[in-house]
Structure 1
Amino acid sequence: MNKQNITQVLGRFVAAYVVLAVFIGQCSAGETIRVLCYNIHYGQGTDGKYDVERLANVIKASKPDLVALQEVDVGVKRSGRVHEAQRLAELTGMAVRFGPTQHYEGGPFGNAVLTRFDILDVAIHPLPYTEATPERTTYPRGAIVVTVRTTAGQKLRFISTHFQHNVPEDRVAEAHAINDLFADDHDNSTPTILAGDMNAQPEKKPIRVLLEKWMLAIESPPVPSAPSTNPRSRIDYIFRRPIENFRLISHE
């Protein structure tokens, strides 16, 4: 299957990809970091097939250093009881950390991070959400924060998250919660990248809230990423902070 056909089958899975130069302190020589944000829809393509190997091939083709994954199944019935996080790590040769947000059909489901760097620390944070009712299905939400040591020895934080799909108030609360995670980080000493499926268009309040503390990694008009079959709007993002520690090199 060629790259164009893979993209059509996987839809908006490869939601955002950036290459950043990262600078620490007064160092003038930046280190290049490749970042991918990837909603894998529990491994299912628009053709209805569950194929983790196909997803791994797309990841490897991008040659990322850090990957934020959303909608990851681990031992869930619908996706064949596959440990998708572990399997993607095996197929890409990267380290992985999984941040479950709920149980579904016999296994956990949530966000994950793949990285080529040494992992120093991992934290999993639940985000606020509205409980489901018979009239409206909602899901618990969360963020996984992975601190790594880059090849050049720089300390870097990387966050993967996924906001509520059908409750606008939840998305706003989740954006505030993300900002509050680092409210005590007054000196902004650790460069941080936030990547995720925010389920909100650029002009909506959740994105405006995030922009109070973050800067978009992709500064030009964003490429549509949803819906998967005919993308018309942007709901997937990569943010960075502090601003002075990053410079965008390229994006897709």
Structure 2
Amino acid sequence: MVKILTVKVLKYSLYLLICWGSLAGVEAQKTKAKPAAKPMTLKVMTFNIHHGENNVGKTNLTRVVELVKEYQPDFVALQEIDSVVPRSGKLNQMRILSLLSDYHSAFSAAIDLQGGKYGLGILSKRPIEHVQKLKLPNPDSTEQRILMCALVPLSEGKSIRFCNTHLDHKSALNRGLQAAIINENLQNSIYPVILGGDFNATADNHTLEALTKYWNDAGANSVQATYPGNGKRIDYFWTHQSAPFKVVEYKVLDEPTASDHLPVLVTYSLGK
């Protein structure tokens, strides 16, 4: 009888060991670390399109669309956009760019002009959830400038604020205050921010100090001009130093006849 019981105990013990081993294997599979998610890649473009006019006085809207289709940026910041202004044929330029490129679009007026509007535009591959416009300081009473931001949901439950501006080219006082207000309004954003546009100053100019102190300049290592008229780099993309962005590629596109500025194209990786 003792021998039979011993055999039964051994069999039961073996059964428990097998079951325990199987369960341990299942638990190990459950707790096995998932591979780290790859950073999201975002490609962005900024282009001052000279109110839709090329260097021989013809429309450059078709060329802008061709560039968008060729490089497929996720977002495009456009400066000097006309909306039903007589000098540009009373065209709704952002509507045309949106229809021809099949991108979502938004327009924010900075000033009234010839019975129409003039300001900034954004093109986005993804639907735009919300648009904000902020009037920037203008104590020297030159042309009114604005900051325009679009909130756009990304995949994986993330959203981004893609912002666009065009700072004062006449008044250094205005430009410095405008850069400071932009920094003040964007540096604590709960969403990652990419800020692009025409800043009308080189990166070593004191008027951009509020940006150069707290923001990363995607083209910091580039010496290529973005405004051929004076041979200077005045068009930028910035990301805050605390934001999870890394520059993968920076390019100034060789488009000397499309506008008086050159388009800037940046690819970022966006981490957690």
User: Which TM-score bucket, shorter chain as reference?
Assistant: 0.7 to 0.9
Q: Which of 242-251 and 31-40 deviates more?
A: 242-251
Return 5+ residue gaps in structure 1 as ranges: 1-26, 133-137
Q: CA RMSD in A?
A: 1.7
Q: In the alignment, what sits opposite 1:44?
A: 53
Q: How far did residue 202 of structure 1 move?
A: 1.4
1:56-76 Cα distance to aligned partner (Å, 9 max, x none): 112222210000010000000
Contact 2:77–2:123 (CA under 8 A) maintained in structure 1: yes
Q: How far did residue 242 of structure 1 move?
A: 4.5
1:53 lines up with 2:62 in the alignment: yes
Percent identical pairs in the alignment equals 29
1:99 lines up with 2:108 in the alignment: yes
Out of 117, 128, 153, which is 1:149 matched to?
A: 153
1:122 lines up with 2:121 in the alignment: no
Q: How far did residue 29 of structure 1 move?
A: 1.8
Secondary structure (helix, strand or coil) at the match of 1:234 reads coil
In structure 1, give the amino acid aligned to 2:74. D
How many residue pairs get aligned? The number is: 216
Secondary structure (helix, strand or coil) at the match of 2:238 reads strand
Q: In the alignment, what sits opposite 2:245?
A: 246
1:229-250 Cα distance to aligned partner (Å, 9 max, x none): xx61111100012445111111
> In structure 1, how many angstroms separate the alpha carbons of the residues matched to 2:190 and 2:117?
34
> In structure 1, how many angstroms separate the alpha carbons of the residues matched to 2:173 and 2:68?
33
Out of 169, 172, 176, which is 1:165 matched to?
A: 169
Contact 1:131–1:139 (CA under 8 A) maintained in structure 2: no
1:70-93 Cα distance to aligned partner (Å, 9 max, x none): 000000000000000111111111
> In structure 1, how many angstroms separate the alpha carbons of the residues matched to 2:129 and 2:191?
13
Q: How far did residue 206 of structure 1 move?
A: 2.6
Return 5+ residue gaps in structure 2 as ranges: 1-35, 252-272
In structure 2, give the amino acid aligned to 1:155. S
Contact 1:68–1:159 (CA under 8 A) maintained in structure 2: yes
Q: In the alignment, what sits opposite 2:184?
A: 180
> Whose Rg is larger?
2
Secondary structure (helix, strand or coil) at the match of 1:119 reads coil
Q: In the alignment, what sits opposite 2:119?
A: 110
Q: How far did residue 109 of structure 1 move?
A: 0.4
Q: In the alignment, what sits opposite 2:93?
A: 84
Secondary structure (helix, strand or coil) at the match of 1:157 reads strand
Deviation beyond 6 Å, 4+ runs, structure 1 = none
Out of 140, 143, 150, which is 1:139 matched to?
A: 143
Q: In the alignment, what sits opposite 1:234?
A: 233
Q: In the alignment, what sits opposite 1:8?
A: none
1:9-31 Cα distance to aligned partner (Å, 9 max, x none): xxxxxxxxxxxxxxxxxx75211
Q: In the alignment, what sits opposite 1:206?
A: 207
Contact 2:140–2:171 (CA under 8 A) maintained in structure 1: no
Secondary structure (helix, strand or coil) at the match of 1:37 reads strand
1:184-211 Cα distance to aligned partner (Å, 9 max, x none): x2xx542100001000011101322212
More helix by share: 2
